Structure 1
């Protein structure tokens, strides 16, 4: 077994000390809009004009009128994009708009600017407006921004205390822009998690559980581009995840190019393992065609294990919006390396294909359709057993159709249908769901959401009913309560299982930039009753 570099006290100090030398300024909150650019089975990639004020562990929200619903948990951050997993029940596709609540540093100058009486014509509206006097506001960039959180998850079951479980997680995320010199950014996201039952086993080397998901230094200049060293995810190589090494990016808004060299984190401990060397290059081109836009990115990746070729592939990304009412997204990966007896290499083989189109039919009605065909790539050295690496390798084909209808500002309806086939399955899997949300309920200020989902496969049939109510108490407290009803049928004999769940959530900003979240749920089935208590205390600075 090869040795993975451990995480110890020196790593902890290396992450923290540079940020302790920084200071921060007063901040005010605002909603910042971003667009989903890429969707994988694990992460949602969202691009913003900039990511100042967004930290790992923050939540991205989808918006329905004035109602913001949690959709994505941020795990990885770059200068212009973030990535993270979708929250349970959130249906997100490329082109969707997501919103981050950020704290912006604003220093107002009491000096009032001279009135600007320039007359500007709004061609689309056909009217002339005079620009009113505005107050001169200076925007300053905070030196240090971050987030610290403590989270606890406790599960209790009626089978006895031996099956109870409690887990703790501590998170520290820090980003320092223009640190020490202009253009230098330092960032880190540390995660420390363990269960109470395993503490005695890991207490001899507790810092081995300290995992840096981000640990980097980045320098950017207009003349030379951006250089990044350390562990960081890159939006130009979305399927790779975090990269341990050096990254380079340069070019203009129309043409971007770059390269990287480094390693993959170890699969078991997520530590630094430079025997998993990898490297790659990318080129991205943005074009304007009439009033439409188009962006194409191609990247070439070479991955190794103990410096033996593990995988070689090319990745293609395409996004276009030639009309305001129609957008198109596609991604594909093709593997070039194939190991067969007596020779290596081979002809390219398509391993990933995803196509999506979104259409705005009317102001109230939107539609989307997607096609997904993916194979699991084969890593010839990482997985010595070919059966393990190709267990799910047969082609999986799926088509998904989605309709969103908003007849009134406070009423939203959604319907989704999906069809999926995999070689060897006895029948095509079918799933569909409906969703209805109503805000500004009569006599109350809250909103109500109902959803139903059904999935049919060759081996099981499942139904899911969900009803949720949300409300706010002032500006600092929000709460929700709901019920879910599940039913499952398994196998040819259709073994049936039913579960009912009740849950409630409370979110409270009890101090400035300090938040408390409490979630309680109970699940009841015929033979088992379990409860879960989730507590989150977060401080932003």
Structure 2
């Protein structure tokens, strides 16, 4: 079986190289349209082109970095020469930044790679890049969304096969029938093959409602939400089931919230987890970006008893050219001592980050994370959840990106995480080099190296990835190889793996595309396989 698999992979690689060489570099260049960032507000990015012909609402715009062309902006409205866009992920922009539009459709794999490689951020910093756009006075109805159907299959020589299916619906409707009413939803349904009884036993374990809400614009200043929604002003609270009201006046905004939290075991509705709160903030647009500060007070309960009471402060600042600062902190105001409630103040969370662009070729990012584990006095949390959350907190991180010449990018990042209970801190050192246009192949080649030290292992992972469009704008493919070596410090055992991956994505038209991914892991003369299929429909 292994010999057949290796032979198949070899034939695929030969076919890939043959087709790649037959492609000309002219196809890549004619498939791109170049524009520049012309104006930036706290919530929108304006990109100017010589002409926006062949660009449509809902299209993706790209920046060029170490991964080649990476999705960075989503077109919401366009005119004859300009596009009003929302930011994808954590990208930061300056006026005159070069933006690219692919004349054709976006391969699914590029979006997936970009999402996987985004640096970790505080949840509020992520949400700030997706704050709602300013309301359009004309109240034009717009309905758009995506329906995705996926299958995940894991199988090995040992016969322990697992087949999982996932269906997701994401949709947004603004100004229904030209009214003040809008709606949004994001729902997923997951189940395993031959385990339908598990779904029938508890539907909430399979069906997850992440967002399902209605918005009513009372006027240009006042908005009310009803249903389940994450409020970007207080994103650290998470999804809220209930009513949310916000009022804007000049550069100020204020809001009140009342409802309940999703159930901590299956994410269903749980009216016993009552919560309420209020927030106020200030936002000012500047020549180079915006400055926004906010403070929120929240109390969460469980069956009537206080579960947590805290204050949250957040500040974002891009007033200085090429510099973006973000900070947040949480102060817990409640504690149980010997089963007696006590009003106290303790620092639960402190997060700081700075991103500076020295030039178009060199940028740096640094962050400090001193978030402690939150204590809920009435809510059950299992040990695994607590360990995973604690392990992902507390540390310092630095990242540098440099582009010595067009089409070639190198970068490095280093970080350390620490906990008092660990025998030694966790340290990471990562490096990469990407050549976005390899001659003759007209493909993108990236090599990576990752070194790590944790409390229980020393590890290294090296990899190389080659990707290209076989049929411009239609068929995209990627080959990826990684070598893994983990040495466990408290035992004599070690783990070595060879991981190979092949990905194909085909875009039938602007609304329908299909991707197939196969990954093989060789370990101690064992073969583990993973197959991922995804069909996505856009409407």
Query: Which category describes the TM-score, using the shorter chain as reference length?
Result: 0.7 to 0.9
Q: 1:63·1:99 contact (CA, 8 Å) conserved in 2? A: no
* Shift, 1:59, TM fit: 9.3
Find out whether 1:91 has 2:88 as its counterpart: no
Look up the match of 1:304: 301
| CA distances 1:344-393 after superposition (whole Å, capped 9, x unpaired) | 12321111111111222233111122111111110000138999969977
Assess, with a 3 A threshold, how the Cα gap between structure 1 residues 293 and 72 changes in structure 2: closer, same or farther. closer
Find out whether 1:429 has 2:426 as its counterpart: yes
Farther off after superposition, 454-463 or 60-69: 60-69
Assess, with a 3 A threshold, how the Cα gap between structure 1 residues 302 and 81 changes in structure 2: closer, same or farther. farther
TM-score (norm 1): 0.75
* TM alignment of 1:236-247, pairs within 5 A: 236-247=233-244
Q: 1:226·1:250 contact (CA, 8 Å) conserved in 2? A: yes
Which sections of structure 2, spanning at least 5 residues, go unmatched?
1-32, 47-55, 75-84, 91-111, 131-137
Greater share of helix: 2
* Superposed CA RMSD: 3.9
* Shift, 1:32, TM fit: 12
* Shift, 1:174, TM fit: 2.4
Distance 1:267 1:521 in 2: 33
Assess, with a 3 A threshold, how the Cα gap between structure 1 residues 206 and 300 changes in structure 2: closer, same or farther. closer
Distance 2:128 2:468 in 1: 21
Q: 1:152·1:169 contact (CA, 8 Å) conserved in 2? A: yes
Alignment size in residue pairs: 455
Distance 1:273 1:96 in 2: 27
Find out whether 1:366 has 2:394 as its counterpart: no
Q: 2:230·2:239 contact (CA, 8 Å) conserved in 1? A: yes
Distance 1:158 1:181 in 2: 58
Distance 1:167 1:494 in 2: 35
Equivalent residue in structure 2 for 1:480, among 448, 462, 478: 478
Look up the match of 2:511: 513
Q: 1:190·1:211 contact (CA, 8 Å) conserved in 2? A: yes
Q: 2:43·2:129 contact (CA, 8 Å) conserved in 1? A: no
* TM alignment of 1:110-189, pairs within 5 A: 141-160=140-159, 163-189=160-186
Distance 1:252 1:30 in 2: 38
Farther off after superposition, 218-227 or 326-335: 218-227
- Could you say which structure has the greater relative contact order, defined with CA pairs below 8 angstroms and 6 or more residues apart? 2
Distance 2:385 2:506 in 1: 46
Farther off after superposition, 250-259 or 151-160: 250-259
* TM alignment of 1:358-437, pairs within 5 A: 358-383=355-380, 397-437=394-434
Assess, with a 3 A threshold, how the Cα gap between structure 1 residues 166 and 60 changes in structure 2: closer, same or farther. farther
Distance 2:307 2:69 in 1: 44
| CA distances 1:245-303 after superposition (whole Å, capped 9, x unpaired) | 01111214621111110111112221111110011111111236786742111111110
Find out whether 1:528 has 2:529 as its counterpart: no
* TM alignment of 1:247-262, pairs within 5 A: 247-252=244-249, 254-262=251-259
Residue 90 of structure 1 aligns to a residue in which SS? coil
| CA distances 1:306-335 after superposition (whole Å, capped 9, x unpaired) | 121000111111111232132211111111
| CA distances 1:99-148 after superposition (whole Å, capped 9, x unpaired) | 99xxxxxxxxxxxxxxxxxxxxxxxxxxxxxxxxxxxxxx9945321211
Residue 202 of structure 1 aligns to a residue in which SS? helix
Look up the match of 1:496: 494
Distance 2:240 2:57 in 1: 23
